[in-house]
């Protein structure tokens, strides 16, 4: 029988955010976070080493904290470029 909770499907960030809101785990492995974000495992490890993906190292394990991943996803919307329809005042 297939257990739907075993691994989240690769989903866009909005669906990943919904999944994170209902999943009560405190951390994910880097490959699990990659799947949630819809990126490759290699890209996730590279992002973790660059500091773009927040991780905590416990022993030899790299874990992505739930709170940090939620902040990362929430911040993605704030950092999107905004289109100005009219010039700013004083321009």
Give the residues of the chain that fall short of pLDDT 50: 2-6, 10-11, 79, 82
Contact present, 16 and 35 (Cβ < 8 Å): no
Domain spans in the chain, listed from the N-terminal domain onward: 27-76
Q: What is the pLDDT of residue 20?
A: 67
pLDDT at position 53: 95
The answer to whether the CB of 65 falls within 8 A of the CB of 56 is yes
| Beta strands 27-29; 56-58: pairing state | unpaired
pLDDT at residue 10, as a whole number: 46
């Amino acid at each position: 029988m297939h257990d739907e909770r075993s691994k989240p499907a690769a989903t866009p960030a909005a669906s990943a955010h919904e999944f994170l809101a209902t999943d009560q785990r405190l951390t994910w492995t880097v490959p699990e976070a990659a799947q949630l974000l819809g990126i490759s495992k290699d890209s996730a490890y590279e992002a973790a080493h660059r500091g773009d993906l927040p991780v905590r190292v416990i022993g030899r394990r790299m874990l992505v904290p739930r709170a940090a991943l939620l902040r990362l996803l929430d911040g993605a919307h704030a950092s999107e470029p905004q289109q100005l329809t009219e010039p700013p005042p004083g321009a």
